[in-house]
Structures are given as structure tokens and as C-alpha cells.
Amino acid sequence: MNTFMKTVTPPANVVEEVHQFFKTDFSDEDIFSNSTLKSDLPGTTDWLLECKNLVDQHRALLIKMPKKENFNEHIKTHHSTALVFGQIFGRPLIQNEQGQKLIAVYDRDRHGSMDTGARYHQTREGGTLHTDNVNLPELWNYLFLSCISPAFIGGESILVDGLKIHKILKTDFPEVLETLENNYIWEMRGVADKLYEAPIITYKDDKSPQFRHLRPYMESAHIKAEKPMTIDQLFAIDVLDALTNSTKNQERFTLEAGNICVTIDDQVLHGRTCFSDAKDAISVEKFTGENGQVLKRTMERLWIQKQ
């Protein structure tokens, strides 16, 4: 893989420390409100700070946690592990109107689509390379996507290095870049019934680019605002989408059960290929581990703000 993504496996002492920690039952809220995590998990904290430095340096990191043999135990352990890792990285943010900080990513309904108002994480749709930081006007830092169960077929993960895309735009399409630096209209779908304006590309204090992009959310927002995109705006996002959808600008891989992918959300665009669950697959909320039960492709997502 390119240098913008690294892969790590936790050392044995981290796995053992986390395993011992979860011998006591914790609720999600217990973990979110636990101010002693770093002192309770000193080895894990030290290792995660090294991981955080890798993410800051390379922009994407794949953490390969071991999978438990018992699948019910795997679900519980991996779920809690991802929460603890995210909490040590920073402050988890609320992701919807219900106030949830952790979101299960799976296909709610085979008929569901972003075209009919569903959020991307609720569908089996592929493509649409994007950043997650489109629902809130304020940008944040890290996206955690942890894999509970892969798809029956498809669902390959795609990452695109935004710094590479920006360099291509600056060199070959300067007029397009200038348009992307101007405001588009966005909707806060699933978080609030509001619209706001922001550019697709802005810049950090160190002049490095940061992206905000999810085309269907812009298109629906412009329709709601009764302000159709201009030809220049449409052309600009057409060029951006063509670049991000080019396989030569992509890294593709399949997340396996136990994997956690961490990215700097405003500098790494992500997506997936379309997928299908097994016909009789069920959601993680309904999964009890009974014989014959099959789990849907299930990821869990955190949005993390640096502290």
C-alpha cells in the first residue's frame, strides 16, 4: 500500500490488558464517561498514542485486532475495544438526532437508497467516495470504522488520499480547485433539519488541504434551498468524483472481523463497493448466536475530536 496507509497488529501485552479489562462488564456510557481509562490501561494507552502518531503522519491506519473464536464474545469484545480505543484517541462526537456517539453501519433495507433520503451507512450502496464530516458545519479529526462482520459478497473498502487529489487539482485543474474552494450548500441529514454553506476544500493552519465531500448531500441541499448548482460547480464536482473514482488513485482492501480502520477524515476520502448480505442475514441488534443465524455486514463508526 502507499505510504498514506499503515497496518499494525497490537502486541501481546495490549491484547492481554484489554482482555483483562473487559472481564468486568461495562456499558457504552460507562466507557464514554470513564475518566480513568488511560490509567486503567497504561500499556494500551502508550501503544495507542503511537498509533495516533502514525495516523497523524500517514493519514490512515489499519489495526488488526485478533478475533475471538466465540462469535458472540467477539461481537461484545470488539465493540467495547473500539469504544475504548476511540475514547483514548479523543472525544467521541454525537452523530445523530438521537444523541448516539456510536453508529452501527449496515444495510437497513434492500430498498433503501440515499436518493430517497437514507444516510449512506444505512444502505448497501457503493461508490460515492466521501468524507464523513458533512453532517456538521464544524470539522473534526478521526474516523473510526471497526468491522464486526464482513459482507456475504462485495463491500470492499476504498480509501483515497486527499493530498494526492489536491496536488492533481492544483497542477492540472486550477480552475476546478478554485471552484471547490468556494461555498456549496449542505444538509445536516440525520443530525438536524438544517442547511449550511461551506467549501469542499479548505486549508489547515499548515496550508494542507482538508476535504468535505458527499455529493448526494450537496445535491439534495441545493434542491431544498432552491438554488441549483451552477455549471461551474457541477463541473468541479464531476472532475473531483472522476479523480477519486479512478482506481489508480485508490487503495482497496476488505475489512475482516476484528479490523479497525482509522483515518484523518478530512484528508482521506473513503467508500466501498456495493455489497449483498446473505438472504437470511439479520442485524446485530437481533443477533443472539443461535444456530443458523447469519449476521449482516456490520461496521461500527465513531467520530473523534482531538482533545
Per residue in 115-172, pLDDT (tens digit) is 777 788 888 888 789 999 998 898 899 999 999 999 999 999 999 999 999 999 999 9
Q: Are residues 232 and 281 in the same domain?
A: no
From the list 108, 106, 146, 114, the residue with the least C-alpha distance to 258 is 146
Domain end point (choices 211, 227, 244): 244
Domains of the chain: total: 2
What are the tens digits of pLDDT across the range 131-142?
999 988 988 999
Burial label for 89, CB within 10 Å (0-12, 13-18, 19+), is buried
Overall average pLDDT of the 65-86 stretch = 86
pLDDT of residue 264: 97
Q: Which domain holds residue 259?
A: 5-160+252-305
Give the model confidence (pLDDT) of 42-59 as tens digits.
999 999 999 999 999 999
- Residues 119, 47: one domain? yes
- Does residue 298 register a pLDDT over 70? yes
- Cβ pair 250, 158 in contact under 8 A: yes
| Same domain, yes or no: 152 and 281 | yes
Confidence at residue 2, expressed as pLDDT on a 0 to 100 scale: 52
Same-domain status, 225 and 176: yes
**Same domain (yes/no): 119, 134:** yes
Select from 227, 244, 261 the last residue of a domain: 244
Same domain (yes/no): 85, 57: yes
Q: Are 46 and 174 in the same domain?
A: no
- C-alpha distances (whole Å) from 148 to each of 175, 199, 200, 241, 275 are 43, 34, 31, 29, 15
Measured from the Cβ of residue 130, the count of other Cβ atoms closer than 10 Å reads 22
Condensed to tens digits (0 to 9), the pLDDT of residues 253-277 reads 999 999 999 999 999 999 999 999 9
DSSP annotation of 55: H
Rounded CA separation 192/1 (Å): 38
Is the pLDDT at 1 greater than 80? The verdict is no
Distances (CA, A) of 1 to 4, 10, 130: 8, 19, 20
Domain harbouring 63, CATH code: 3.60.130.10
Q: What is the pTM of this model?
A: 0.91
Q: Give the number of other Cβ atoms within 10 Å of residue 64's Cβ.
A: 14
Residues 17 and 64 reside in one and the same domain:
yes
